[in-house]
Amino acid sequence: MDTKVISTGIRYTSLPESYVRPESERPKLSEVEDCQNVPIIDLGCEDRSLIVHQIGQACRFYGFFQVINHGVSMEVVEKMLQVSNEFFNLSVEEKMKLYSDDPSKTMRLSTSFNVKKEKVHNWRDYLRLHCYPLDQYVPEWPSNPPSFKDIVSNYCSQVRDLGFRLQEAIAESLGLDKEHIKKVLGEQGQHMAVNYYPPCPEPELTYGLPGHTDPNALTILLQDLEVAGLQVLKDGKWMAVKPYPNAFVINLGDQLQALSNGRYRSVWHRAIVNADKPRMSIASFLCPCDDALISPPNELTDDGTEAVYRNFTYAEYYKKFWSRNLDEEHCLELFKN
Protein backbone atom coordinates (compact mmCIF):
# COMPACT_ATOMS: atom_id res chain seq x y z
CA MET A 1 0.00 0.00 0.00
CA ASP A 2 1.74 3.18 -1.14
CA THR A 3 -0.61 5.57 0.57
CA LYS A 4 -1.24 5.03 4.22
CA VAL A 5 -4.99 5.63 4.04
CA ILE A 6 -7.47 3.06 2.73
CA SER A 7 -9.93 5.60 1.27
CA THR A 8 -8.03 5.65 -2.02
CA GLY A 9 -11.01 4.75 -4.19
CA ILE A 10 -9.36 1.43 -5.04
CA ARG A 11 -11.50 -1.60 -4.22
CA TYR A 12 -9.51 -4.32 -2.51
CA THR A 13 -10.24 -7.88 -3.58
CA SER A 14 -8.73 -9.42 -0.47
CA LEU A 15 -7.94 -8.09 2.96
CA PRO A 16 -4.29 -7.01 3.35
CA GLU A 17 -2.48 -9.15 5.92
CA SER A 18 -1.96 -6.30 8.37
CA TYR A 19 -5.75 -6.05 8.89
CA VAL A 20 -6.48 -9.70 9.60
CA ARG A 21 -7.37 -10.37 13.24
CA PRO A 22 -6.25 -13.56 14.96
CA GLU A 23 -9.10 -16.05 14.94
CA SER A 24 -9.98 -15.60 18.63
CA GLU A 25 -10.44 -11.85 18.14
CA ARG A 26 -12.73 -11.81 15.11
CA PRO A 27 -16.19 -10.22 15.20
CA LYS A 28 -18.18 -13.48 14.70
CA LEU A 29 -20.78 -11.54 12.76
CA SER A 30 -23.17 -14.48 12.42
CA GLU A 31 -23.70 -14.50 16.20
CA VAL A 32 -24.66 -10.82 16.45
CA GLU A 33 -28.36 -10.06 16.91
CA ASP A 34 -30.19 -6.78 16.53
CA CYS A 35 -30.61 -4.89 19.78
CA GLN A 36 -34.41 -4.80 19.87
CA ASN A 37 -35.13 -2.40 22.67
CA VAL A 38 -32.58 0.40 22.28
CA PRO A 39 -33.94 3.26 24.39
CA ILE A 40 -35.18 6.03 22.08
CA ILE A 41 -35.78 9.19 24.06
CA ASP A 42 -37.87 12.06 22.72
CA LEU A 43 -36.24 15.24 24.01
CA GLY A 44 -39.16 17.25 22.63
CA CYS A 45 -41.49 15.66 25.18
CA GLU A 46 -43.24 18.20 27.45
CA ASP A 47 -42.77 16.06 30.54
CA ARG A 48 -39.24 16.76 31.76
CA SER A 49 -39.44 14.29 34.65
CA LEU A 50 -40.22 11.53 32.14
CA ILE A 51 -37.16 12.44 30.03
CA VAL A 52 -34.95 12.46 33.14
CA HIS A 53 -36.35 9.08 34.26
CA GLN A 54 -35.85 7.50 30.81
CA ILE A 55 -32.29 8.82 30.59
CA GLY A 56 -31.51 7.46 34.07
CA GLN A 57 -32.81 4.00 33.14
CA ALA A 58 -30.88 4.00 29.86
CA CYS A 59 -27.63 5.05 31.57
CA ARG A 60 -28.04 2.40 34.21
CA PHE A 61 -29.01 -0.60 32.10
CA TYR A 62 -27.52 0.19 28.68
CA GLY A 63 -24.86 2.90 28.89
CA PHE A 64 -26.21 4.36 25.66
CA PHE A 65 -29.47 5.57 24.12
CA GLN A 66 -30.78 7.38 21.06
CA VAL A 67 -32.35 10.83 21.12
CA ILE A 68 -34.88 12.34 18.73
CA ASN A 69 -36.27 15.90 18.58
CA HIS A 70 -32.86 16.84 19.94
CA GLY A 71 -32.74 20.43 18.75
CA VAL A 72 -29.92 20.00 16.22
CA SER A 73 -31.34 21.23 12.94
CA MET A 74 -31.86 18.54 10.28
CA GLU A 75 -30.42 20.87 7.67
CA VAL A 76 -27.22 21.20 9.70
CA VAL A 77 -27.02 17.40 10.05
CA GLU A 78 -27.56 16.78 6.34
CA LYS A 79 -24.94 19.34 5.38
CA MET A 80 -22.51 17.80 7.85
CA LEU A 81 -22.90 14.35 6.27
CA GLN A 82 -22.65 15.83 2.79
CA VAL A 83 -19.46 17.81 3.42
CA SER A 84 -17.88 14.80 5.19
CA ASN A 85 -18.54 12.67 2.11
CA GLU A 86 -17.11 15.41 -0.10
CA PHE A 87 -13.98 15.46 2.03
CA PHE A 88 -13.40 11.72 1.78
CA ASN A 89 -14.05 11.84 -1.96
CA LEU A 90 -11.20 14.31 -2.48
CA SER A 91 -8.14 13.01 -4.31
CA VAL A 92 -5.68 11.00 -2.25
CA GLU A 93 -2.99 13.64 -2.90
CA GLU A 94 -5.25 16.35 -1.50
CA LYS A 95 -6.17 14.33 1.60
CA MET A 96 -2.59 13.23 2.30
CA LYS A 97 -1.60 16.86 2.88
CA LEU A 98 -3.43 16.49 6.20
CA TYR A 99 -2.13 13.04 7.12
CA SER A 100 -0.39 12.42 10.45
CA ASP A 101 -0.05 9.50 12.82
CA ASP A 102 0.83 11.73 15.77
CA PRO A 103 -2.11 11.54 18.24
CA SER A 104 -1.15 14.83 19.88
CA LYS A 105 -2.02 16.83 16.74
CA THR A 106 -5.26 18.79 17.03
CA MET A 107 -6.16 18.32 13.36
CA ARG A 108 -5.16 15.32 11.29
CA LEU A 109 -6.30 12.75 8.82
CA SER A 110 -5.24 9.31 9.92
CA THR A 111 -6.12 5.67 9.70
CA SER A 112 -6.90 2.75 12.03
CA PHE A 113 -6.47 3.75 15.72
CA ASN A 114 -2.86 4.13 16.77
CA VAL A 115 -0.86 3.07 13.73
CA LYS A 116 2.55 3.23 15.37
CA LYS A 117 1.65 0.99 18.30
CA GLU A 118 -0.87 -1.57 17.13
CA LYS A 119 -0.11 -5.00 15.71
CA VAL A 120 -3.26 -5.29 13.57
CA HIS A 121 -4.86 -2.32 11.83
CA ASN A 122 -8.54 -1.33 11.72
CA TRP A 123 -10.43 -0.76 8.49
CA ARG A 124 -11.15 2.95 8.88
CA ASP A 125 -9.79 6.34 7.95
CA TYR A 126 -10.76 9.32 10.03
CA LEU A 127 -10.45 13.06 10.19
CA ARG A 128 -9.85 14.17 13.76
CA LEU A 129 -10.64 17.76 14.73
CA HIS A 130 -10.52 19.78 17.91
CA CYS A 131 -13.67 21.90 18.05
CA TYR A 132 -13.58 24.10 21.13
CA PRO A 133 -13.01 26.98 21.33
CA LEU A 134 -13.95 27.24 17.66
CA ASP A 135 -12.03 30.46 16.97
CA GLN A 136 -8.86 28.73 18.12
CA TYR A 137 -9.19 25.59 15.99
CA VAL A 138 -11.23 26.41 12.88
CA PRO A 139 -8.30 28.15 11.13
CA GLU A 140 -6.36 24.84 11.02
CA TRP A 141 -9.29 22.80 9.67
CA PRO A 142 -9.37 21.65 6.03
CA SER A 143 -10.09 24.48 3.59
CA ASN A 144 -11.17 21.98 0.98
CA PRO A 145 -14.15 21.48 0.45
CA PRO A 146 -14.56 25.30 0.65
CA SER A 147 -17.79 25.08 2.71
CA PHE A 148 -16.20 22.71 5.26
CA LYS A 149 -15.28 25.19 8.00
CA ASP A 150 -18.66 26.91 8.01
CA ILE A 151 -20.79 23.79 7.97
CA VAL A 152 -18.74 21.94 10.57
CA SER A 153 -18.62 24.98 12.91
CA ASN A 154 -22.42 25.18 12.90
CA TYR A 155 -22.72 21.48 13.56
CA CYS A 156 -20.20 21.61 16.41
CA SER A 157 -21.91 24.39 18.30
CA GLN A 158 -25.37 22.80 18.04
CA VAL A 159 -24.01 19.42 19.16
CA ARG A 160 -22.18 21.04 22.10
CA ASP A 161 -25.43 22.61 23.23
CA LEU A 162 -27.19 19.23 23.01
CA GLY A 163 -24.40 17.62 25.05
CA PHE A 164 -24.83 20.15 27.86
CA ARG A 165 -28.59 19.61 27.95
CA LEU A 166 -28.00 15.87 28.23
CA GLN A 167 -25.45 16.34 31.03
CA GLU A 168 -28.05 18.34 32.96
CA ALA A 169 -30.63 15.57 32.57
CA ILE A 170 -28.06 12.91 33.55
CA ALA A 171 -27.16 14.90 36.68
CA GLU A 172 -30.84 15.21 37.62
CA SER A 173 -31.38 11.50 37.02
CA LEU A 174 -28.75 10.83 39.71
CA GLY A 175 -30.59 13.11 42.12
CA LEU A 176 -27.98 15.86 41.77
CA ASP A 177 -28.29 19.55 41.02
CA LYS A 178 -28.61 19.83 37.24
CA GLU A 179 -25.44 21.90 36.97
CA HIS A 180 -23.38 19.41 38.97
CA ILE A 181 -21.77 17.42 36.15
CA LYS A 182 -21.00 20.54 34.12
CA LYS A 183 -19.38 22.17 37.17
CA VAL A 184 -17.17 19.16 37.90
CA LEU A 185 -16.08 18.80 34.27
CA GLY A 186 -15.08 22.47 33.99
CA GLU A 187 -14.64 24.12 30.62
CA GLN A 188 -15.14 21.05 28.49
CA GLY A 189 -13.03 20.26 25.47
CA GLN A 190 -14.74 19.05 22.32
CA HIS A 191 -13.29 16.82 19.62
CA MET A 192 -14.72 15.18 16.58
CA ALA A 193 -13.85 12.10 14.56
CA VAL A 194 -15.32 11.88 11.08
CA ASN A 195 -14.99 8.14 10.45
CA TYR A 196 -14.95 6.67 6.98
CA TYR A 197 -15.09 2.90 6.49
CA PRO A 198 -14.55 1.93 2.84
CA PRO A 199 -16.10 -1.28 1.51
CA CYS A 200 -14.11 -4.16 2.93
CA PRO A 201 -13.46 -7.41 1.03
CA GLU A 202 -13.60 -9.66 4.12
CA PRO A 203 -15.59 -7.98 6.91
CA GLU A 204 -15.57 -11.06 9.13
CA LEU A 205 -11.76 -10.88 9.53
CA THR A 206 -11.38 -7.31 10.78
CA TYR A 207 -12.96 -4.30 12.50
CA GLY A 208 -13.66 -0.69 11.75
CA LEU A 209 -12.87 -0.26 15.44
CA PRO A 210 -12.59 -3.11 17.96
CA GLY A 211 -14.52 -3.11 21.24
CA HIS A 212 -13.66 -0.17 23.51
CA THR A 213 -15.16 2.33 25.90
CA ASP A 214 -14.75 6.06 25.37
CA PRO A 215 -12.33 7.83 27.75
CA ASN A 216 -14.27 11.10 27.69
CA ALA A 217 -17.54 12.19 29.38
CA LEU A 218 -20.14 11.97 26.62
CA THR A 219 -20.12 10.90 22.96
CA ILE A 220 -22.74 12.10 20.48
CA LEU A 221 -22.72 9.90 17.41
CA LEU A 222 -24.32 10.58 14.07
CA GLN A 223 -24.75 7.23 12.31
CA ASP A 224 -24.92 6.64 8.59
CA LEU A 225 -28.62 6.03 7.91
CA GLU A 226 -27.99 3.70 4.98
CA VAL A 227 -25.29 1.47 6.41
CA ALA A 228 -25.32 0.01 9.92
CA GLY A 229 -22.08 -0.76 11.72
CA LEU A 230 -22.37 0.17 15.39
CA GLN A 231 -22.50 -2.72 17.86
CA VAL A 232 -22.70 -2.56 21.66
CA LEU A 233 -22.03 -5.10 24.37
CA LYS A 234 -25.23 -5.86 26.28
CA ASP A 235 -25.40 -8.62 28.90
CA GLY A 236 -22.19 -10.17 27.57
CA LYS A 237 -23.37 -10.28 23.92
CA TRP A 238 -22.58 -8.04 20.99
CA MET A 239 -25.75 -6.48 19.60
CA ALA A 240 -26.24 -4.39 16.45
CA VAL A 241 -27.70 -0.89 16.89
CA LYS A 242 -29.77 -0.06 13.83
CA PRO A 243 -29.64 3.55 12.68
CA TYR A 244 -32.84 5.39 13.61
CA PRO A 245 -34.03 8.29 11.43
CA ASN A 246 -33.04 11.77 12.65
CA ALA A 247 -31.52 10.43 15.85
CA PHE A 248 -28.17 10.68 17.59
CA VAL A 249 -26.70 7.78 19.52
CA ILE A 250 -25.49 8.97 22.93
CA ASN A 251 -22.72 6.93 24.59
CA LEU A 252 -21.65 7.44 28.17
CA GLY A 253 -17.90 7.72 28.53
CA ASP A 254 -15.66 6.52 31.35
CA GLN A 255 -15.82 9.85 33.21
CA LEU A 256 -19.58 9.59 33.75
CA GLN A 257 -19.20 6.02 34.98
CA ALA A 258 -16.69 7.30 37.56
CA LEU A 259 -18.77 10.38 38.47
CA SER A 260 -21.88 8.28 39.01
CA ASN A 261 -19.82 6.04 41.33
CA GLY A 262 -20.31 3.11 38.98
CA ARG A 263 -24.12 3.38 38.85
CA TYR A 264 -24.05 4.32 35.21
CA ARG A 265 -21.96 2.42 32.75
CA SER A 266 -19.60 3.46 30.02
CA VAL A 267 -20.65 1.17 27.21
CA TRP A 268 -18.32 -1.18 25.30
CA HIS A 269 -18.93 -0.63 21.62
CA ARG A 270 -17.30 -1.41 18.29
CA ALA A 271 -17.68 -0.67 14.60
CA ILE A 272 -17.85 -3.40 12.00
CA VAL A 273 -17.43 -2.97 8.26
CA ASN A 274 -19.28 -4.35 5.28
CA ALA A 275 -18.42 -5.59 1.85
CA ASP A 276 -20.69 -3.53 -0.36
CA LYS A 277 -20.89 0.05 0.73
CA PRO A 278 -18.76 2.64 2.45
CA ARG A 279 -20.03 3.82 5.83
CA MET A 280 -19.65 7.19 7.48
CA SER A 281 -20.10 8.02 11.14
CA ILE A 282 -19.44 11.27 12.93
CA ALA A 283 -18.55 11.10 16.61
CA SER A 284 -18.43 14.22 18.78
CA PHE A 285 -16.76 13.95 22.16
CA LEU A 286 -17.23 16.19 25.19
CA CYS A 287 -14.22 15.91 27.52
CA PRO A 288 -13.55 17.29 31.00
CA CYS A 289 -10.91 20.00 31.19
CA ASP A 290 -7.49 18.54 32.04
CA ASP A 291 -7.49 19.52 35.70
CA ALA A 292 -11.10 18.47 36.36
CA LEU A 293 -11.05 16.31 39.48
CA ILE A 294 -13.24 13.28 38.89
CA SER A 295 -14.75 12.04 42.13
CA PRO A 296 -18.19 10.80 43.14
CA PRO A 297 -20.48 13.47 44.63
CA ASN A 298 -21.28 13.29 48.37
CA GLU A 299 -24.92 12.58 47.52
CA LEU A 300 -23.89 9.19 46.13
CA THR A 301 -21.65 8.20 49.07
CA ASP A 302 -23.50 9.82 52.03
CA ASP A 303 -25.37 6.62 52.81
CA GLY A 304 -22.09 4.82 53.50
CA THR A 305 -21.66 3.54 49.93
CA GLU A 306 -17.93 3.20 49.25
CA ALA A 307 -16.36 5.28 46.49
CA VAL A 308 -15.67 2.75 43.71
CA TYR A 309 -12.80 4.72 42.16
CA ARG A 310 -10.08 6.87 43.65
CA ASN A 311 -10.08 10.56 42.73
CA PHE A 312 -8.13 11.41 39.59
CA THR A 313 -7.74 14.24 37.14
CA TYR A 314 -8.86 13.87 33.55
CA ALA A 315 -5.30 14.51 32.33
CA GLU A 316 -4.05 11.57 34.39
CA TYR A 317 -6.79 9.33 33.02
CA TYR A 318 -6.29 10.34 29.42
CA LYS A 319 -2.58 9.73 29.56
CA LYS A 320 -3.16 6.23 30.93
CA PHE A 321 -5.84 5.52 28.30
CA TRP A 322 -3.56 6.34 25.38
CA SER A 323 -0.61 4.43 26.79
CA ARG A 324 -2.37 1.09 26.41
CA ASN A 325 -4.06 -0.86 23.63
CA LEU A 326 -7.63 0.03 22.79
CA ASP A 327 -9.08 -3.39 23.54
CA GLU A 328 -7.31 -4.17 26.82
CA GLU A 329 -9.25 -4.32 30.08
CA HIS A 330 -11.32 -1.29 30.96
CA CYS A 331 -8.99 1.60 31.79
CA LEU A 332 -11.19 2.51 34.80
CA GLU A 333 -10.16 -0.77 36.44
CA LEU A 334 -6.77 0.82 37.01
CA PHE A 335 -8.38 3.55 39.14
CA LYS A 336 -10.44 1.33 41.44
CA ASN A 337 -10.18 1.87 45.18
Instruction: Give tens-digit pLDDT for 101-148.
Output: 888 899 999 998 877 778 899 999 999 999 999 999 999 999 999 999
Burial of 2 from C-beta contacts in 10 A (0-12 / 13-18 / 19+): exposed
Share of the chain above pLDDT 90, in %: 88
> Has this prediction a pTM greater than 0.85?
yes
Q: Tell me the per-residue pLDDT of 270-307, one tens digit each, with 9 for 90 and over.
A: 999 999 999 999 999 999 999 999 999 999 998 888 99
Q: What does the alpha-carbon distance between residue 70 and residue 75 come to, in Å, rounded to a whole number?
A: 13
Q: What does the alpha-carbon distance between residue 180 and residue 294 come to, in Å, rounded to a whole number?
A: 12
For residue 245, tell me if it sits in a domain.
Answer: yes
> Whole domain around residue 48: which residue ranges?
30-335
For residue 25, tell me if it sits in a domain.
Answer: no
| Residue 243, domain CATH | 2.60.120.330
Over 80: is that where the pLDDT of 51 sits? yes
Closest CA relative to residue 55, chosen from 44, 69, 67, 73: 67
**Residue 326, pLDDT score:** 57
**Residue 322, pLDDT score:** 78
Share of the chain above pLDDT 70, in %: 98
**Residue 2, pLDDT score:** 54
For residue 123, tell me if it sits in a domain.
Answer: yes
Query: Are 264 and 217 contacting, i.e. CB atoms less than 8 angstroms apart?
Result: no
For residue 8, tell me if it sits in a domain.
Answer: no
Closest CA relative to residue 95, chosen from 127, 123, 122: 127
Close Cβ partners of 50 (under 8 Å, ≥ 6 residues apart): none
For residue 15, tell me if it sits in a domain.
Answer: no
**Residue 327, pLDDT score:** 57
Closest CA relative to residue 259, chosen from 159, 183, 334, 162: 183
**Residue 1, pLDDT score:** 45
Phi/psi region, residue 81 (left: phi>0; alpha: psi -120 to 50; beta: rest), is alpha
DSSP 95: H
For residue 4, tell me if it sits in a domain.
Answer: no
- Domain tally, the chain: 1
**Residue 118, pLDDT score:** 83
Q: What does the alpha-carbon distance between residue 266 and residue 130 come to, in Å, rounded to a whole number?
A: 22
